[in-house]
Amino acid sequence: MAIASDKTFFIDPARCIGCQACVQACSECATHRGQSMIHLEYIDRRHSPQTVPVVCMHCDSPTCAEVCPADAIKRTDDGVVQTARKPRCIACNNCVLACPFGVPKMDAGANLMMKCDMCYDRTSEGLKPWCASVCPSQALFWGTREEIEKLRPSSKPANAFQFGNQTIHTKVQMMVPRGPINLIDAIASLNSTAVSHEVTDDILLSNLFEPDPSPLPQNR
């Protein structure tokens, strides 16, 4: 069992409509007992309702595994970083603190770190992850690079993230506007202002209170 080498997971934040279907679908998976391994973040809630789905990015050199003193987190040959192995995890929270994307969660009841494993039971059998199978806007997309580039010609996948002096490459790809961006500067994006599409009611109100310049035709 392994994931087909040409398939991967794409996140297209601009298409997320915040419906939470992915969160619900993930929480219904029997392997993690009612907990969702995906969550939504608001990009800048003060200025925009835009949300972005957050899953494990499946780093090529996973910091979570590097800081685990119990060697409980394994990365399979097909590039998927598995959730912590229960017999090994000592619930020290190192991975929770170290992950640059804020992904692992500690299940205090089970004393076990849990995180997205890209629905390995499904994807290694040729099926889509649950979240990608329910996302109505395809903000979460499972397929090949060729498929997504054909479907979305104005964007392109990127999988290099800059955190200070460190560059992290991931199996999961983030869709960015087509152009010169090849490296996503995570710190700079935290400090940038969200592009908001402000909706005002000025036009509606002015039309309501201004006299209609075209009088109704008179019946003769």
Q: Which is nearer to ligand SF4, 120 or 180 (CB)?
A: 120
Structure-block tokens of residue 148: 């997504």
Q: Does 26 bind ligand SF4 (CB under 6 A)?
A: no
Length of the chain: 220
Within 13 Å and on the Cβ side, how many CA atoms surround 109? 3
What is the chain's percent helix, strand, coil content, to nearest 5?
A: 25, 25, 55
Q: Which is nearer to ligand SF4, 53 or 129 (CB)?
A: 53
Applying CB under 6 A, among 81, 112, 118, 148 the residue interacting with ligand SF4 is 81
Q: Does 174 bind ligand SF4 (CB under 6 A)?
A: no
Applying CB under 6 A, among 139, 148, 174, 175 the residue interacting with ligand SF4 is 139
Binding span for ligand SF4 by CB under 6 A among 55-63, 118-126, 148-156, 195-203: 55-63
Cα(135)–Cα(15) distance, rounded to whole angstroms? Answer: 10
Q: Does 99 bind ligand SF4 (CB under 6 A)?
A: yes
Q: Does 59 bind ligand SF4 (CB under 6 A)?
A: yes
Amino acid making up residue 21: A
Applying CB under 6 A, among 57, 72, 80, 118 the residue interacting with ligand SF4 is 57
Structure-block tokens of residue 69: 């003193």
Structure-block tokens of residue 209: 């209170």
Cα(27)–Cα(8) distance, rounded to whole angstroms? Answer: 21
Question: Which chain residues interact with ligand SF4 by CB under 6 A?
Answer: 16-22, 40, 53, 56-59, 62-64, 81, 99, 101, 103-104, 115, 134-135, 137, 139-140
